[in-house]
Structure 1
Amino acid sequence: MRIQQFLEHHGLSQNPFSQEDAQSDPLFKRFCAQATFHPAWDKICGNPGEPSTAVVFGEKGSGKTALRLQVVDQISEHNVGHPNERVFVVEYDDFNPFLDNFRQHVAPHSSRPERALSQWKLWDHMDAILSLATTRLVDDVLEESHTSKPGAFEIHADRLASLSRSQKRDLLLLAAFFDKARSTHPATRWNALRRKLRFANFVSWWELGLGALATLVLFGVLAQNGSLNQFGRPWPWLVLLVAWGPWLIKQTKLLWLAWRVCRQVRVLNHPLIALKQVLAGFESKDLVAQPVPAKDRSDDRYEFLSKLQSVLRTLGFTGMVVIVDRVDEPHLINGNAERMRDLMWPMFDNKFLKHSGLGFKLLLPVEISHFLSRENPEFYERSRLDKQNMIRSLEWTGESLYDLANDRIKACTNGSTNPPKLLDWFDSSVTEAELVSTLSQMRVPRHLFKFLHQLLVEHCNRFTDGNPQWKIDRSTLHAALAVYRQNLKAYDLGMGPG
């Protein structure tokens, strides 16, 4: 007996439990993302128009990635309905490039990841977030929208034109220090952004112009008088040195500044000469009294964060949300709880998590929540987790998993007015209470989907196409449950895939 045969008999067009990862689950994206939520959804998401922070700990398969996708969808829907009060989203979920660059900076020859991660600081997170936000913003600016209504996250041409000169300078500063796109040369991309912003920088070339003009005049005068042999004497070279002095001094200062930034921004791999070329595009007055990420402190990063928010407000984004996910996946972390703690603990800073106009959704593995009970009072005073909407465990009851299963079955019925329920798959010997109790042992959606898929396989393998059985009996349910509980036990011990 084929599974599809069983499903079609119950009015389903596809298997609702064949996918296990929300990231690649078309059924979730098309139907369930807008209608199926965890019971704690309101606390996690909050009001999309008023970004808030939530700290969520959940085991693998509990739906953290689904929450991330749903938060983005909710904010996108909010942005479409409120074009003047949109929220900018930063998905901080790919740590590999940042951790690779960081390790190369602090411990290039060490084989122990712990040595590198022990030096990870709050400003490294801030640099990574500024990089993600700036890179996306620059991409959007270079591909600005000219439609009458911008999309959920598009930059509209009219908004771009309303930026003040200081805001254009701030965006160019952010691009210089934090833009991580490497599809083109950094200076080429930066100049494309400058031209798009119509930011004039002619004065930045005066030192080069002075040196070139003095060289041409000196050479012309000596050539006209037939005195080119004067270059054998010291005075023409002294004249050239004086003429080129301002340019040489400026280039030396910029090279020193670029070197300090390259050394301090540890999560990015800045090409030294390329960064110097970009900084040379600023007039000297535009760099005076401006923050530079060249010291071991977060103060400069907070200033850049405020600059970014100012630019975004003019572009129609009154808030900003950073979503942290997939902390256990980087190869430097490799699922190790201590390494995850070393990576994430610096972010638990109340000043940062409660920064005005900024909200965080920290979707973290439950393994690191156990370290909370071992921290000292100073950690709790700094983090103020009591104010961060913390959910200690993203739990699913048997009832909520039963509702989730029914929602997915309904999504596979192509809009039927009377969709079947999971209980309809079973014969009269299985009650709803027994089924809910069975599902409660699955704990999380991923195990639920795996179990129900294996149950379908077990049932269909017991019958032929010519003699199908449309109801699953209690013995099949108990047999499938016994096998899956063994698999689940091995998974919890780290000895099986689950």
Structure 2
Amino acid sequence: MEIKEWLQVWQFDHNPFVIFDADRDPYLQSSMVENTSLRSVLLHIDKPTPYVIFAIRGAGKSSMRIDTERYLNDYRDQVLVIAYTEYNELISEVQRPRSLPLEYASDRSAITRFLKGKKEIPLPRAESRITLDDHLDHILKLGIEELYRTVVNTPREDLLKSNPEIAEKFLLLIALYYATNDLSSKIATLRRLIDLTGYERKLPFFLTKQAKFLAADIYRHLRGVTISLEGMTKAIKEIGVGLFEFHGIPHNTENRFALLRNFMDLVRHFGLAGVYLLVDRVDEPVSIKGDPEKMRELVTPILNDQLFQIDHLGIILFLPYELHDLKKYYRSDRIKTISSINWSPDNMIRLIEKRMNVGRKPGSAPIHLADLFEDEGESKANFIVRQLTPRNAFRLLSIILEEHCQTVIYGVKISTEVYESAVQRYLIEKEGY
């Protein structure tokens, strides 16, 4: 029997037992079941609290992060939500060799003689490991991009006009961290909105040169984000060097924490209670591929006590259980820990049956997991829902369906013989799955 034929008999539009990556699961939102072990973290939306959540593979970390993000977005008029889930760009930027075009060098004559006609200066290689500075840069990038969208999409621009100091902080962070092709035009629009003077046009050659040197300085010190020297130069010319000199650029960790505090001031000024930073998928980068030691190298810098003391910043980390030993790097009196994500049989059956019924044709009568079996359906369903994680349960269901369709020429319900054979295959496979 073809699997497609069996699905049609049960009026399924698609196979409800297929395992998807959570971020690419087209049915996740419609079949989500709230896990109460996590929702308790969010009882007080307006008081973001740091948490570290550990879970074994397949327990649904990313699904819960997506559910948390969706839940928090219902309160986007109160809090800013940042998903920190993509690290390939960060790792690539940190590890790639960097060079500086000669036109951006502050001492071109000596360098030109040394390089004998070369057009670029290779910059010194820093350590290739991700540092706290790199994470802070990337978090600020994600944060200012999200805040910009919030300000533009809601009537908050007048709040910039009412406080020039806040407006300057906003412009500076956009100039440093907003990675967009039309950065200078965005800055020009905001500058005119808040009536901030940019460069005077009296001596364009010298002003451009000064802007290039400052852009080069920023380029040297920001490894965690992609920077266009040309775009940065244009942005500096729109704002003026004085703003950078007054507020400072990120030469060191303390500079970055000052910028992060400025960012939090902006969030509060725009009427938001705080920021939720959701950290997930640390096992996914191409260069990591689930290696626990490489995951530790990526995550450990984030577990910085100073970062977790930033007021109104609630960092929630969804980490693989293999990193459980990282608890020694943070203070448990400041950061709460959920040591595991547990699925009760009741929650598991709700999840499975909701996914089954979401996958059926419109108007179909609801069905239960036990209905799929010829006999002792409740007993079989009880075994399936006790497989600890959703991934295990759905893997077992996939094997049961495969075994059934390979065994029978035609059959609507699954026999005990097929079920037992599938369970044996599942248990053997589970050791390496």
| TM-score of the two chains, using structure 1 as the length reference | 0.73
| TM-score (normalised: structure 2) | 0.82
* Counterparts in 2 of 1:416 and 1:188: CA distance versus 1, 3 Å: closer
- State the SS of the aligned residue for 1:409: helix
Counterpart residue identity of residue 423, structure 2: L
Residue number in structure 2 paired with 1:199: 195
Q: How many equivalent residue pairs?
A: 405
After TM superposition, the structure 1 = structure 2 runs for residues 62-81 of structure 1, keeping only pairs within 5 Å, are 62-79=59-76
Query: Offset of 1:349 from its aligned partner?
Result: 2.0
Task: State yes or no: 1:121 paired with 2:131.
Answer: yes
Whole-angstrom CA distance in 1 between matches of 2:45 and 2:363: 32
Distance (Å, rounded) in 2 between the aligned partners of 1:263 and 1:319: 31
| Secondary structure of the structure 2 residue equivalent to 1:459 | helix
SS of the aligned residue for 2:74 comes to helix
- Structure-2 change in CA distance of 1:7 and 1:49 (3 Å): farther
SS of the equivalent of 2:179 reads coil
Q: Report what 1:315 is aligned to.
A: 270
Query: Superposition RMSD on alpha carbons, in Å?
Result: 3.0
For 1:334, the equivalent position in structure 2 comes to 289
Q: 1:175 to 1:482 in 2, by over 3 A?
A: same
Name the residue aligned to 2:223. Answer: 266
Over 3 Å counting, the alpha-carbon distance change for 1:406 and 1:354 in structure 2 is farther
Quote the sequence identity (%).
Answer: 24
Other-structure match for 2:239: 282
- Matching of residue 94 in structure 1 with residue 91 in structure 2: no
Which residue does the alignment assign to 1:385? Answer: 332
Whole-angstrom CA distance in 2 between matches of 1:65 and 1:462: 35
Q: 2:46 and 2:150 mapped to 1: Cα distance? A: 21
How far is the alpha carbon of 1:416 from its aligned partner?
7.2
Question: How far does residue 40 in structure 1 lie from its aligned partner after superposition?
Answer: 1.2
Residue of structure 2 equivalent to 1:350? 305
Matched, 1:464 2:406: no
CA distance in 2, matches of 1:464, 1:284: 77
By how many angstroms is 1:415 displaced?
8.1
CA contact (8 A) 1:20 1:446 kept: no
Supply the distance in 2 between the matched residues of 1:32 and 1:386 (Cα, whole angstroms): 36
Q: Is the 8 A contact 1:16 1:27 kept in 2?
A: no
Counterpart Cα distance in 2 of 1:106 and 1:334: 25
> 1:240 aligns to what?
none
Q: CA deviation at 1:44?
A: 4.3
CA displacement 1:282-303 (0-9 Å, x = unmatched):
34653453132122x2x22222
- For residues 403 and 336 of structure 1, the distance between their equivalents in structure 2, rounded to whole angstroms, comes to 33
Kindly provide the amino acid, as one letter, of the partner of residue 260 in structure 2: L
Match of 1:40 among 37, 41, 48: 37
Partner AA of 1:384 in structure 2: R
In structure 2, distance between residues paired with 1:336 and 1:362: 18
Structure 1: distance between partners of 2:9 and 2:42: 38
Preserved contact between residue 20 and residue 449 of structure 1 (Cα < 8 Å):
no
Q: Which residue of 2 aligns with 1:452?
A: 397
* 8 A contact 1:159–1:314 mirrored in 2: no
Residues 167-246 of structure 1: matches in 2 within 5 Å?
A: 167-181=166-180, 183-184=181-182, 186-195=183-192, 197-201=193-197, 204-205=199-200, 208-209=201-202, 211=203
Residue 56 of structure 1 pairs with residue 53 of structure 2 = yes
Tell me which amino acid in the other structure corresponds to 1:405. I
Match of 1:343, SS state, is helix
Q: Which amino acid aligns with 2:31?
A: C
* SS in structure 2 of the partner of residue 26 of structure 1: coil
State the SS of the aligned residue for 2:273.
strand
Query: Residue 385 of structure 1 aligns to a residue in which SS?
Result: coil
SS of aligned partner of 1:440: coil
Distance 2:137 2:81 in 1: 16
SS of alignment partner, residue 79 of structure 2: strand
Residue aligned with 1:317, SS:
coil
Cα distance, 1:8 vs structure 2:
5.6
Cα offset for 1:340?
A: 0.8
How far has the Cα of 1:256 moved from its partner? 4.4
> Is 1:419–2:366 an aligned residue pair?
yes
**1:332 offset after TM fit, Å?**
2.4
Assess if the C-alpha contact under 8 Å between 1:398 and 1:437 holds in 2: no
- Match of residue 372 from structure 1: 326
* Alpha-carbon offset, residue 350 of structure 1: 3.0
Label 1:104 to 1:489 Cα distance change in 2 as closer, same or farther (>3 A): same
- Structure 1 position 70, deviation (Å): 0.6
When residues 199 and 96 of structure 1 are mapped into structure 2, their CA distance, relative to the original with a 3 A threshold, is farther
Alpha-carbon distance in 2 for matches of 1:338, 1:172 = 39
Q: Partners of 1:429 and 1:318 in 2: how far apart?
A: 53
1:292 aligns with 2:249: yes
CA separation in 1, counterparts of 2:309 and 2:361? 44
- Give the letter aligned to residue 460 of structure 1: C
Q: Which whole-Å CA distance do the structure 1 matches of 2:23 and 2:373 have between them?
A: 30
| Maintained 8 Å contact 1:130/1:305 | yes
The whole-number CA distance in structure 1 between the counterparts of 2:336 and 2:419 is: 39
State the alpha-carbon separation in 1 of the partners of residues 218 and 13 from structure 2. Answer: 57
Please state how far the C-alpha of 1:9 moved relative to its aligned partner.
5.2
Q: Cα gap change, 1:269/1:73 in structure 2, threshold over 3 Å: closer, same or farther?
A: closer
Gaps of 5+ in 1: 108-113, 145-154, 213-246, 492-498
Could you say which residue in structure 2 is the equivalent of 1:137?
147
1:179, distance to aligned residue in structure 2 (A): 1.2
Q: Is the alpha carbon distance of 1:263 and 1:285 closer, same or farther for their aligned partners in structure 2, counting shifts above 3 Å?
A: closer
Q: 1:20 to 1:45 in 2, by over 3 A?
A: farther
Change (3 A) 1:336 1:72: same
In the alignment, residue 90 of structure 1 is paired with which amino acid? I
Structure 1 stretches of at least 4 aligned residues deviating more than 6 Å after TM superposition: 414-418
Residue equivalent to 1:409: 356
After superposition, the C-alpha distances for 1:232-287 in whole angstroms (9 at most, x for unaligned) are xxxxxxxxxxxxxxx84x66665444333211111123234542442233346534
User: Contact 1:165/1:199 (CA < 8 Å) preserved in 2?
Assistant: no
Counterpart-to-counterpart distance in 2, 1:128 and 1:344 = 13
SS in 2 for 1:116: coil
Can you list the C-alpha shifts for 1:369-425, whole angstroms capped at 9, x where unaligned? 2x337x5xxx3xxx2135322122334355543332123234345787973221122
Instruction: Pick the aligned partner of 1:435 from 377, 381, 386.
Output: 381
